[in-house]
Amino acid sequence: MTRLPALAASTFAKLLAYLSCLALLVMALHVTADVVWRALFNTPILGTLEIGTHYYMIAVSFLALGYVQMKDGHVAVEFVVHSMRMRPRMVLEFFALLITFVFSLYYLYYSWVSAMQKTRIGEYVLVHSEPMTIWPSRWILVVGVFGFSFILLIQLFRLARTLWQGRVVRVAELMATEAGTNTGERD
C-alpha cells in the first residue's frame, strides 16, 4: 500500500543526493580553477566566493538530508537503546521519528516563508558592484527539507505498521524493502 509513495520518496531523496554530490564536485573544480587562474593570470574568477557560499554550500549542506535519514545516518546517541530488545526499542524509535518529523514540518514551513519573502524582494548580492541573484538558492533549502520530511513520513507510517503487525525492523531498513518482511529477527 505504501509501495508507491515510498518509491517516490526514496527516488526523490536519491536524486537530491546526486545533485548534492554534483554540487560538491563542481565546487571543488570551480574553486581550484579560481586558485589556478589567480596564480597564472593574477585575476580571480568573478563570483567564485558568492556562488560557492550561496549555491554550492547550500546544496551540499541540505540536499542530502533525506538520503541520510533514509539510511538512518544522522548522528544519534546509540548506547541507551543499544542493549534494549527490539520491540521496546522500536516504540522509542517511533517517538524519536515523530519528534523529528514534527520538527521537519516546522523547518519546512519557515524555510518556505523565508524563501517566498526573499523571492518577492528578489534577493541579490553585489559582486564587484554587479548584482548576482541569490534568492533561488533559498529554494534549495526548501527542497532539501521537503525531501527530509517526505522520507520521515513514510518511515513513520511503516514503523507504526510494523509495530502493529508485531514484526521487527530497523529504522535503516524501513525504506529498503516492503517494511519488515525480510528482517528475520525476533525478540
Partner 1 sequence: MSFAAIGFIGLFTLVVMLAIRVPVGIALSVVSLIGITLVRGPAAAFGALRSLPYDFAAVWTLSAIPMFLLAGAIVSNAGLTTGLFRAMRVWLGWLPGGVAVATNFAGAGFAAASGSSIATTATLGRIAVPEMLDNKYDPGLATGVASAVGTLGAVIPPSIIIVLYAVFAQAPVGQVLIAGILPGLLTAFCYAGMIIIRCKLKPELAPRIPSPKLSLREHLQLFVPIWPLPLLVLCIVGGIYSGLMTATEAGAVGAVLAILTSMLQFRFSFAMLKKSLFEAAETTAGLLMIAVGAILFTRFLALSGVPTALSDIIVAYGTSTLSIVLLIAVVYLFLGCFLDPIGIMLLTLPVLLPVFDAADISLIWIGILLVKLVEIGMLTPPVGLNVFIMKGVIGDRVPLTTIFRGVGWFLVAEIVVMTLLIAFPQITLFLPSYMN
Please, are residues 55 and 140 in contact by the beta-carbon 8 Å criterion?
A: yes
- Residue 159 near partner 1 by CB under 8 A: no
Single-letter amino acid, residue 86: M
- Residue 85 near partner 1 by CB under 8 A: no
**Which of these, 137, 85, 148, lies nearest to 114 by C-alpha position?**
137
- What does the per-residue mask of binding to partner 1 show for 37-76, with x meaning CB under 8 A? ------------x--xxx-xxx-xxxxxx-xx--x-xxxx
**Cα gap 25→129, rounded to integer Å:** 28
Q: What's the burial of 166, exposed, middle or buried (CB within 10 Å: 0-12/13-18/19+)? A: exposed
**Cα gap 81→95, rounded to integer Å:** 13
- Residue 119 near partner 1 by CB under 8 A: no
Q: Exactly one of 7, 46, 113, 172 binds partner 1 (CB under 8 A); which one?
A: 113
- Residue 173 near partner 1 by CB under 8 A: no
Q: CB of residue 101 vs partner 1: minimum separation in angstroms?
A: 10
Q: CB of residue 2 vs partner 1: minimum separation in angstroms?
A: 23
SS3 call for 36: helix
- Residue 110 near partner 1 by CB under 8 A: yes
Q: CB of residue 99 vs partner 1: minimum separation in angstroms?
A: 5
Residue number with CB closer to partner 1 (46 or 92): 92
**Cα gap 155→171, rounded to integer Å:** 7
Q: CB of residue 74 vs partner 1: minimum separation in angstroms?
A: 4
Q: What's the burial of 85, exposed, middle or buried (CB within 10 Å: 0-12/13-18/19+)? A: exposed
Chain contacts with partner 1 (rule: CB under 8 A): 17, 20-21, 24-25, 27-32, 34-35, 49, 52-54, 56-58, 60-65, 67-68, 71, 73-81, 92-93, 95-96, 99-100, 103, 106-107, 110-111, 113-114, 137-138, 141
